[in-house]
């Protein structure tokens, strides 16, 4: 009984942390998985480029600002086999009030985009982080110029 009193006092004082007590992540870190389907054309030693952008959704004529660019050099995919690449971008930045964020994923052959990453939750702009959009994403590579 005497051991239960300190435990009860600790609980009443809020001394035990719960999962809800975790602080919200305010970084611009986005993690994800890029999947290149097995029917996608082969790619040999190309560049996988992942960019995170920040923009003000209230201003139409202002270019977005690059938060971070991550490049995987010598990215390879063999047709007939699924390729999976994990990534992280934007970990050093902080979410700014009123701003919105989007992600672009491309495979480049020199300066030519040969494949585009389509986010499973948003096939359009690729919004992330704010407005209910996720910070963990699944991306599927689509060959540019192919349906």
Residue whose token pair is 């971008």: 89
CA distance 132 to 65: 21
- For 98-130, how does the pLDDT look when each residue is reduced to its tens digit (9 = 90+)? 999 999 999 999 989 999 998 888 767 889 998
Q: Are 35 and 139 in contact (CB under 8 A)?
A: yes
Summarize the confidence of residues 45-60 as an average pLDDT. Answer: 93
Question: For the whole model, what pTM was predicted?
Answer: 0.79
């Amino acid at each position: 009984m005497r051991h239960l009193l300190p435990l009860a006092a600790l609980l009443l004082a809020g001394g035990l942390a719960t999962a809800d007590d975790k602080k919200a992540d305010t970084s611009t870190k986005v993690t994800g998985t890029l999947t290149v389907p097995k029917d996608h054309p082969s790619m040999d030693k190309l560049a996988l480029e992942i960019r995170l952008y920040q923009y003000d959704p209230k201003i139409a004529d202002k270019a977005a600002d690059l938060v971070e660019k991550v490049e995987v050099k010598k990215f390879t995919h063999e047709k007939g086999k699924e390729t999976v690449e994990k990534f992280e971008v934007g970990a050093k930045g902080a979410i700014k009030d009123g701003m919105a964020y989007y992600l672009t994923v491309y495979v480049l052959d020199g300066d030519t985009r040969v494949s585009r990453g389509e986010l499973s939750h948003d096939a359009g702009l690729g919004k992330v982080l704010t407005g209910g959009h996720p910070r963990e994403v699944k991306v599927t590579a689509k060959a540019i110029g192919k349906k």
